[in-house]
């Protein structure tokens, strides 16, 4: 850990990020305090490496692309298994303002998420060229009441992502319209498709926002994974439907 931190301090951000990312999935694991320190440092590094227009030479997770005549971000992004909204964000350029001949930064997706039930945390990763996970950043989450968030492997269901969704409570039948400020699932919805483990075959689960910030860090949902409004907005940009997997672990 000390070596990775030293690399960051020396400005060797790519090497430091790779080394510290490996520690987050190492066995035996780091202490929780050390893990949190690593996450904080690497997330800060990624503000520059991933979430800014800057391209660091040698970064295997991004590349420079010169916009061609007729290009649309909505067509470029799927080729890299990322969302066009993320490319808008990191390039500080609305899709409608894309200009032929101008270089933009692309991220090589897809992102994937690991949700720790015991720590109420979602960690976002990319996969490096060596096949190893590279840590990006984390978000606190709320989970299902009475441990009702199935573990296992999920996929962001193709075509399932919705901005300003409506919702019907499956237990009571109460309906909340899309623009209802009392809608418990907030402004974003990403449906989950269960692939492996306890998640296999499960229906009706998803990732969404919340209007109850006190529910984050607690088991209060009907089983879905919920995030605070700014966090679900970012996760919506990061996770690609039909491509991004979500691993729910103890």
What pLDDT score was predicted for residue 239? 99
Is there a contact between 54 and 69 (Cβ–Cβ < 8 Å)?
no
The string of pLDDT tens digits covering residues 14-69 is 999 999 999 999 988 999 999 999 999 999 999 999 999 999 999 999 999 999 99
Question: SS3 sequence, the chain?
Answer: CHHHHHHHHCCCHHHHHHHHHHHHCCCCCCCHHHHHHHHHHHHHHHHHHCCCCCCCCCCCCEEEEECCCCCCHHHHHHHCCCCHHHHHHHHCCCHHHCCCCCEEEEECCCCEEEEECCCCEEEEEEECCCCCEEEEEEEECEEEHHHCCCCEEEEECCCCCEECCCEECCCCCCEECCCCCCCCCCCEEEEEEEEEHHHCCCCCCEEECCCCHHHCCCEEECCCEECCHHHHHHHHHHCCCCCCEEEEEC
Share of the chain above pLDDT 70, in %: 100
The pLDDT of residue 217 is 98
Q: Sorting pLDDT into bands at 50, 70 and 90, what band is 182?
A: very high
The domains found in the chain, sorted by start residue, are 2-49 (no CATH), 62-107 (3.10.350.10), 112-249 (2.40.440.10)
**What pLDDT, on a 0 to 100 scale, did the predictor assign at position 135?**
99
pLDDT score at 180: 96
Name the band, by pLDDT with cuts 50, 70 and 90, for residue 86.
very high
pLDDT on residue 66: 98
The pLDDT of residue 212:
97
Summarize the confidence of residues 182-192 as an average pLDDT.
98
What confidence category does residue 207 fall into, taking pLDDT thresholds of 50, 70 and 90? very high
Average model confidence (pLDDT) for the chain? Answer: 97
pLDDT for position 137:
99
* Mean pLDDT value of segment 133-149: 98
């Amino acid at each position: 850990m000390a070596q990775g931190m030293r690399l960051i301090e020396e400005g060797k951000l790519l090497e430091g990020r790779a080394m510290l990312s490996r520690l987050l999935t190492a066995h035996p694991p780091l202490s929780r305090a050390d893990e949190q320190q690593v996450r904080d440092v690497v997330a800060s590094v990624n503000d520059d490496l991933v979430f800014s227009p800057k391209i660091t030479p040698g970064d295997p997770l991004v590349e420079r692309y010169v916009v061609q005549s007729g290009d649309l971000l909505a067509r470029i992004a799927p080729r890299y298994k990322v969302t066009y909204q993320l490319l808008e964000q990191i390039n500080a350029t609305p899709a409608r303002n894309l200009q032929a001949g101008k270089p933009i930064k692309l991220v090589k997706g897809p992102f994937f998420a690991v949700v720790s039930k015991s720590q109420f945390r979602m960690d976002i990763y990319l996969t490096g060229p060596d096949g190893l996970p590279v840590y990006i950043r984390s978000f606190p989450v709320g989970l299902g009441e009475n441990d009702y968030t199935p573990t296992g492997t999920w996929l962001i269901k193709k075509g399932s992502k919705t901005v300003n969704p409506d919702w019907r409570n499956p237990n009571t039948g109460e309906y909340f319209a899309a623009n209802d400020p009392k809608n418990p699932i907030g402004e974003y919805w990403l449906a989950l498709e269960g692939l492996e483990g306890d998640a296999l075959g499960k229906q009706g689960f998803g990732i969404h926002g919340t209007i109850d910030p006190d529910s984050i860090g607690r088991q209060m949902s009907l089983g879905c994974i919920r995030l605070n409004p700014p966090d679900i907005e970012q996760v919506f940009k990061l996770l690609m439907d039909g491509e991004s997997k979500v691993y729910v672990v103890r």
